[in-house]
Structure 1
Amino acid sequence: MGNRVIVLLLIASLALNAYFWVSAQPLEDSEVRQIKQELESLQDTNDALKEQIQLNNESLQSCTAELDFYRDRVFELESQAGVCPTGITGSATLQAPAVIQKIEVVDDGPFFRRIVTEEGTMIDVSVELIPGKGRVLVQTEPLMGVVFQDAANTAALVAQDITNTSLSESDTIYSIRAEQEIPGVDGPSAGALMTLIMIAALDNETLDPGVTVTGTIDEEGNIGPIGGVVEKARAAKDNGKDLFLIPEENEILVIGNANEQRIGDIVIIDEDSETVDAEAYIEEEVGIDVEYVDTIEDVLDYAVLEDE
């Protein structure tokens, strides 16, 4: 009797499950169809937006090409007519500190190891403004494996904002000169100095040759952190600079100490480090005055000579 009851309960349970499955199936199919329809609608919308973006890009490129054409035409007509273009002219120059990375491969018995060293150097950075078409150009001498173009573009943008000047009818030419090819230089770290000399050229300001600065620049005129601050300080000191401006974000300096231990043909390098205040450390160890800067306005306060 008990077995029959269990069997009946099992049959009833199976029947009930089958009923729920059959009754729920159309609902699931309906939900799936609805989701598929929504996906198709979203896909259509996405395709339409992509097409619109492509059309907008093509329109923008067409307008840019047309603008360049008319600028070239106006410049050509002015040249043929002997009319002096109305572009701004000016120039400025200053030495910038940089860091060179050198890699030495040492044959140490059966093994080879690479020793990477960094040393500071100074490069001449100048800017010239001439009548033109609003271009920002960069030339390096000798040719370097360094990208300065982004820093130059940002420097030109910030300088125009600071001086409330438009360079739409002037060409900006940055010249970077070094005594040797220096592929390891970090181009963006010259951004603050490139902005400084650009402002000096626009405002006809005189810069203090005993001052130099390192740091990146953003579109808001903020000075950003860089590397190799101690090596750059030594290069600035060796080249007769009296004041070295560094980003405020480089206030904490990590000094590393490496100890070598040789076991047979194996060299074990043990490194430890300590954190110090950059200004105090550089002034004591290198012997050059240091000031922190946070914005391009801070740089101008230290680097521009006041008219007598």
Structure 2
Amino acid sequence: MMGNRGIVLLLLVSLAFNMYLLGPDTITERFEMQGDESSQQTNDELREQLEECNQSLQACDLQLEFYINRLLEMESRSDVCPLTFLGNATMQAPAVVQRIELIERGPFVRQTVTEEGAMLDVSVEMVPGKGRVLVQTVPLMGVVFQDTANIAVSLAQERTGANLTQNDVIFSIMATEEIPGVDGPSAGALMTVLMISSINSEQLNPLVTITGTIDERGNVGAVGGIIEKAQISKETGKELFLIPEENRLLEISSVSERRVGSIVISEGESEMVDAKSYIEEEIGIQVEYVSDLDDLMEHVFAD
């Protein structure tokens, strides 16, 4: 604001100086001096110059009036609060829960770890503030989402052109139970979409969910637990599951056990399959690959 004010004042001074130099008194003096020379041609030239100066003065007067009004307008707006954004958005995000089970067999105790899907409610709210990015998790999940949240806010500002320095952005991640196995970065793509939706006031499609990290350039990166996340997405009524392009190849493992006397021997086999084909056939939810923020934008908004 001060920069604009300075420019206007400089223009005012410049216009006033030009008006002084071009003033009719100056031309009149030159006209009177030439009158003694009884030169009709010179007098005609001076009359033309006087007419041109009058026209220039009229133009300067109009410009001066414009800049004075502009300066008064800026002064009247100097006490107006900076622009802030108000908005919110919510989307369900699939996560993976690790379950640890202890199996006792006689004097021996065996630990097994299983993974299953869980849905989180992730929301963002923009309120007047000081440019802070805040994260709260309910219940406490033991995972740091802060770095991911900062990247999401930065990308959303870059994409939309919004300036959130006069806002606080609050991310809330809620689950029905404590989920210590959630990996914060895996919600990065979804959190970025939430920010853009909130800034632009665009409605998200509730039948779509996302998993994937995101970096400062807007690239969506690979995550784990694709099968478990697809299953919980299907069970909670989602129809479209967006996964990273980097997760295109999916390793499917199978374990068989055989007993030799009192000893149980486990044998595992694995194969690589196309994730989209496998999930759509075996789980029954539509899958699309995404590699960057542009890909995400094509699928997440309501029609």
Normalising by structure 2, report the TM-score: 0.72
1:164 aligns with 2:176: no
The gaps in structure 2 that reach 5 residues or longer are 1-78
Aligned counterpart, 2:235: 238
* Structure 2 letter corresponding to 1:297: D
Aligned counterpart, 2:269: 272
Aligned counterpart, 2:200: 203
Counterparts of 1:190 and 1:121, CA distance in 2 = 13
1:112 aligns with 2:109: yes
In 2, are the aligned partners of 1:131 and 1:169 still within 8 Å (CA)?
yes
1:89 aligns with 2:75: no
Counterparts of 1:132 and 1:234, CA distance in 2 = 39
Selected match of 1:188 from 163, 181, 185: 185
Selected match of 1:179 from 169, 176, 180: 176
Q: How far did residue 249 of structure 1 move?
A: 0.3
Aligned counterpart, 1:221: 218
* Structure 1 letter corresponding to 2:140: L
Q: How far did residue 111 of structure 1 move?
A: 2.2
Aligned counterpart, 2:133: 136
Identify if the C-alpha distance between structure 1 residues 108 and 83 changes in structure 2 by more than 3 Å, giving closer, same or farther: farther
Selected match of 1:286 from 279, 283, 288: 283
- Larger C-alpha radius of gyration, 1 or 2? 2
Q: Secondary structure at the match of 2:299?
A: helix
Q: What is the CA RMSD across the aligned residues, in angstroms?
A: 1.4
Question: Could you tell me the percent identity over the aligned residues?
Answer: 59
Aligned counterpart, 2:68: none
Runs of 4+ in 1 over 6 A off after TM superposition: none
Aligned counterpart, 2:4: none
1:32-82 CA distance string (max 9 Å, x none): xxxxxxxxxxxxxxxxxxxxxxxxxxxxxxxxxxxxxxxxxxxxxxxxxx9
Aligned counterpart, 2:148: 151
Q: How far did residue 85 of structure 1 move?
A: 5.8
Counterparts of 1:205 and 1:162, CA distance in 2 = 14
Counterparts of 1:170 and 1:200, CA distance in 2 = 16
* Structure 1 letter corresponding to 2:256: N
Aligned counterpart, 2:59: none
Q: How far did residue 106 of structure 1 move?
A: 0.9
Counterparts of 1:83 and 1:110, CA distance in 2 = 76
* Structure 2 letter corresponding to 1:131: P
Normalising by structure 1, report the TM-score: 0.71
1:125 aligns with 2:125: no
Aligned counterpart, 1:42: none
Q: How far did residue 86 of structure 1 move?
A: 3.2
